[in-house]
Each structure stands twice: as C-alpha cells, then as structure tokens.
Chain A
Amino acid sequence: MTLLLILIALLVLIVLDIPIAIAIGMVAIAGILSSQGLDGLFNAPLALYEGASSFPLLAIPLFVFAGNLMNASSISRRLIDLANAILGFIRGGLAMVNIGVSLFFAEISGSAVADVAAIGSVLIPAMKEKHYKPSFAAAITSSSASLAIIIPPSIPMILYATLADVSVVKLFVAGILPGVIGGVAMMGLAYYFARKYNLPREAAFRLSRVKIALREAAWTLILPFVILGGIFGGFVTATEGAGLAVAAALFISGVIYRELNQETLWRAIHMSVTQTAIVMLLVATSALLGLYLTEAQLPQQLADSILTLTHNRYAVLLLLNLLLLGLGMLLHGAAAIILVVPMLMPLIHEVGIDPLHFGIVLTLNLAIGQQTPPVASVLITACSIAKVDIWETTRANVPFICLLLALLILVTYFPMIPLALVYLFYG
C-alpha cells in the first residue's frame, strides 16, 4: 500500500513537470516526515551525501566524459565509415551500420546516452537524407544503443555489481551472449523493414574500401582492447577502466587525430558536467528514498508479499520483470538500480536466483525502460537529434521494444544464455 502511494505521488509530481530527481527527493522527505517527524530530516543531508559518494559511481562521470570526447572528435565517424564499408551493401545498409556501430561503441563508452549522441548525430541525418522515416531512424538508433548496455563495459552493470556484491567482470561476461543474440536479432528485424519499405543499399562491398576504412579507424579499434583488456586482465577495476577510457580518448583525439582544441574540449567538459549532474542528482535522491523505504521495512514487506503468492523462482522473476518494466517508465536506470537492488536482493537470495542472472535480467529491463516514455533518456536524446515527436518515434519503436522484450523473456527463462560463458571461463 505504501509503495503504491509512493508511486502515485511520484507520478503526480512528474506529470506536474517537477524534475524527476527532485520529485523523488520530495516523496522521500514526505515519507520521512510522516513516519519519523521533523527529527527524521537530520538523516536527509547525510543520505544525500552518502548517496552520491559511492566509489563505483565514479564510472558515471568518467564514461560520460570519455563518450563526449569521442563525440568531439572523428572517432564515431571513423567507426561508422568502417561499419558502412562492411555492412552498407545490405538493403537498409544504414540501419545495419547503426546497430553494428552501437554494439561496438558500447565497448568504449559504457553509456547508452553517449552512444546515441555519438552515433545518432552522424547517422540520423544521413538516414533522413536517404529517405528513411525520421521516426524509424530515431527508433533504431535509440533501441540499439539501449541493447548495447548489456554489452561490457556498462555503467548500470557496474552499479548493480557493487550493490549486489557480485563480480563486475563476471557480470560483464554474462552480458556478452545476450548482447550478441539481441544484436543479430535486431539486424534481422531491420532487414525485414528494409525489404518492406524498400530502403536503399549503400555502396557495393569492396575489399579495398574495407581496408581503407580499417586503416582510418585503426586507433579507434584499439580503444575497446585497452579498456576491456584492462578490466578483464585485472590491470584496472571497472571504474578505473572508465578513467582509462578518458585517457585513451584524449590521447587518440588530441594527439593522434589532432582534433581537440580549446573550444571542443570545453564543450565536451561542459556537456559531461551537465549530464553527470543530472544522473547523479537522480542517484542521490533515489538513495534518500531508499533510506526511507528501508527504514519503513518495505524490502521485507515486498519480499513477503511476493513469497505469499509464490516461491517458484520463474514466477518470481515474472513478477519482478513486471515491476521493473513499470519502474523503468518512471525512473532513470541508475536511480532505479540504487533504489531497487537493495530492496530485491533478499528476495533473490531467498528463492535461489543466481545474482549474476538477475543482474542481466535487471539491466535488460532498464534497457527497455530507456525506450518507454515518459522517462526515457535514450529515446529522448534520439528524438531531439532527429527532431521528431517522442510519441511518433515510440510508435515506430514498438517492434524494437517487442524484440527487447522477447530477449528479456529468453534471458529470464533460459539462465544458461547469460551464464554459459561465465561457467566456461570461471567454472
């Protein structure tokens, strides 16, 4: 009942155009006041501080900064040229390129918003020029960028791993197979639409073109090896990997490509500060709400009420999927993780769900949440680049959201899909 009241209050404040981060904080303050009176408010500033000070959260500004540095240089354009040389000959080539680059870019930026900003700003105008519907161009850019958050490195995965106390590296490995399956399926769906709408092919496949594009993108291709190699090789932690991504992006765009000047660097810093602050304020106020929910013993109540319905782990996962999909419409991914993971972990352990498996299920839910308005950061970024209405894009996005839902069901009910590679490498 309390949970329902919280959700309704949150929804009302959001509909009245209160910034979501502050709406979450207001609901938390109201809850604390109603249960503990004014004295409870002494904990609010402490919780707001603690909520933003967790070490793994450092990955957010660092990956966001790395993504913006790549956007400021020709790194994303070089990747797109390479993908175009390899995939462009297929019907609907630019849609294929879009998905291919998204999945690759994910291995560098760790953030879906950075992904969509980098790829969308080049590919969406190009797609519009080739008579792709702008809503379709925005939908495919947005969906493929969200799918990419289950491919390492990934900010949501780093946050989940910390809160659920599981290995980040194992969680990264668990995301690889579902990410590849999703990417191939998304290309298949794009191909279906390409035939249906008679979308154009790009230039014919020529090995010489691929070679030139490879040479042009050589330094860019090194980036994922540096970042993922550093993390998987145990050289740096996942959070430090984000720092490495900044250093590598600075080196490649500044020293090798010589494309960074004072103005572009300042713009990248300016955007990174704003994007970080927006997400981190959400994270901090979610921690405040989390404090209230924990003190009101809502995690236990939620676990108990679900366990009175069923002890079957697959039925529990179904209920959790419904809950997370609903939350994904209202909350930003990072905020949702901070809020729900501590609440759900007792239940996950109680019914014997592997926390690594649940990590991928949760991340996929949040990927879908990034596509479902009103709170859909990735979709909104894609729409603002394509200059199309959010609802019109959402209609074009329905098949891609259905594909992500199908992938979610697959991953939920076949735990071996995410876990096979983890067992293979780590026993």
Chain B
Amino acid sequence: MDSSMQDDKRTIGRLRNGLEKILMGISASLLIGLVLIVLLAVVYRKLGHSLIWYDELASLLLVWLTYIGSAAAASQRSHLGFDGFVKKLPALPHRIIFFVGEALIIGFFVLIAIYGIRVQVALQGEHLISLPWFPLTVSQAIIPVAAILFILSEILSIPQAIRQAS
C-alpha cells in the first residue's frame, strides 16, 4: 500500500515536472517573440515602414505569456501570497484551510473556463483589426485553455505544496 502510494506520488511529481517544462518552454518562446517584435518594429519604423500589426500582435503575445506563464508559476506555487497566518495554525485547521483554499481556486478557474468557452460563441466571425485573417476565437481561446492548465497545475502541485507546508 505504502509503496503504491509512493509510486502515485512519483507519477504525480513527474507529470507536474513535465507540464511545467512544456508551459515554461512555450512561455519562453513567447517572451523571446515579444522582444523580437518590439525591436523589429523600432527598426522598421526608423526605416520608414511602420508595421501596422505590431501593437496588436505584441499585446496578444503578452496575454498568452501572462496566462501560460501563470499556469507554470502555479505549478511552482510561485504566485504571491501571504502564508504568515496559516503557518502559525495547528496542523488540522491548517490542512482544512489549505484544502478549502484549493477548492476555491479550482472553482474560480472552472467558472472562468466554462464562461471562456461559452463566450467563444459570441466571438465567431470576429477577427483582429490589423491581421484580418486571425480569428478572435483563437486569440481569446487562451483564457479557457489557460484556466484548464491552471487547474491541472494546481492539482498536480498539491503534494508538493503539502510537503512544503509541513
């Protein structure tokens, strides 16, 4: 029993590491893409050819970086918080508050995922202004996708969070 639980924990740990690596790789590419676009736009403008799609595409990359990076940060449990109070509590109330908190966080992202998907219907047929071939449903899809990734990261990092707390 004990060894199968250990195996489960190891599997969860491996899954968490794998997910974090993928999310971090995507986020890193988005960050590098952002830097290149901003610099390219400055060079083009100085050469007298402004890139009209630059603001919109850079903003889009920033939103994707924000949410994919947030899911990666969730798997590292790096989001800013204040644990000064709960740390001082005895083990049982601490554990209860921890799981209530996890349920609230997951509930929040479940709502965002559901309404993120439902809002897609309203965006059908809409496109970016400067890149008319790029559908808004694709750019906005990051919200439900990231919400699901956030939930996954949160769940997979629970064992690590419990280990850190104790």
Q: Which residues of A contact B (CB under 8 A)?
A: 13-22, 25-26, 29, 41-42, 44-46, 48-49, 52-55, 57-58, 61-62, 65, 235-236, 239-240, 242-244, 246-247, 266, 269-270, 272-274, 276-278, 280-284, 332, 373-375, 377, 390
Residues of B within 8 A of A49 (CB): 63, 139-140, 142-143
Are A48 and B143 closer than 8 Å at their CB atoms?
A: yes
A61 with B31: CB separation less than 8 A: yes
If A44-B115, A276-B65 touch, whether A281 touches B101 (CB-CB below 8 Å) is: no
Q: Considering the complex, give the chain A residue whose CB is closest to the CB of B78.
A: A274
Q: Is the CB of A18 within 8 A of B101?
A: yes
Residue pairs across A and B with CB atoms within 8 Å: the count is 172
Q: Which of B40-64 contact A (CB under 8 A)?
A: 41-42, 46, 55, 58-60, 62-63
How many residues does chain B have at the interface if contact means C-beta atoms less than 8 Å apart? 55
Q: With an 8 A cutoff between CB atoms, is B84 at the interface? A: yes
Taking CB atoms, residues of chain A closer than 8 Å to B65 are: 61, 273, 276-277, 280
Q: How far is the CB of B8 from chain A (nearest CB, A)?
A: 25
**What would 6 more interface pairs be, CB under 8 Å, given A274-B72, A277-B65, A281-B79?**
A19-B105, A45-B140, A52-B62, A58-B34, A62-B38, A373-B82
Give the residues in chain B near A282, CB-CB below 8 Å: 80
CB contact between A280 and one of B55, B69, B76 (< 8 Å): that residue: B69
- Chain B 107-122 interface mask (CB, 8 Å, partner A; 1/0): 0100110011011001
Q: A57-B62, A239-B38 are in contact. Are A22 and B108 (CB under 8 A)?
A: yes
Query: Among the listed A65, A273, A280, which residue makes an inter-chain contact with B24, where contact means beta carbons less than 8 Å apart?
Result: A273
- A61 to chain B: which residues have CB within 8 Å? 31, 34, 62, 65
Q: Is the CB of B38 within 8 A of A44?
A: no
CB distance A29 to B97 under 8 Å? no
**Interface class of chain A by DSSP:** helix
Q: A61-B62, A276-B66, A280-B69 are in contact. Are A15 and B85 (CB under 8 A)?
A: yes
Q: Is the CB of A273 within 8 A of B69?
A: yes
The answer to whether B79 and A21 have CB atoms under 8 Å apart is yes
Report 5 cross-chain contacts, Cβ distance below 8 Å, ordered by A residue: A16-B85, A20-B80, A22-B79, A58-B59, A61-B31
Q: Mark B65-101, 1 if CB is under 8 A from A, else 0.
A: 1111110110010111111111000000000011011
Contact A277 B72 (CB under 8 A): yes
Which residues does chain A contribute within 8 Å of B39, judged by CB atoms? Answer: 243-244, 246-247
The answer to whether B35 has its CB under 8 Å from any CB of chain A is: yes
Kindly list chain A residues whose C-beta atoms are within 8 Å of the C-beta of B105: 18-19, 22
| Pair B42/A284 contact, Cβ less than 8 Å | no
Q: Which of B70, B97, B108, B142 contacts A17 (CB 8 A)?
A: B97
- How many whole Å from B162's CB to the nearest CB in chain A? 13
Chain B residues within 8 Å of A235, by CB = 46
Which of A246, A373, A375 is packed against the most chain B CB atoms within 10 Å?
A: A246
- Whether A374 contacts B84 by the Cβ 8 Å rule is yes
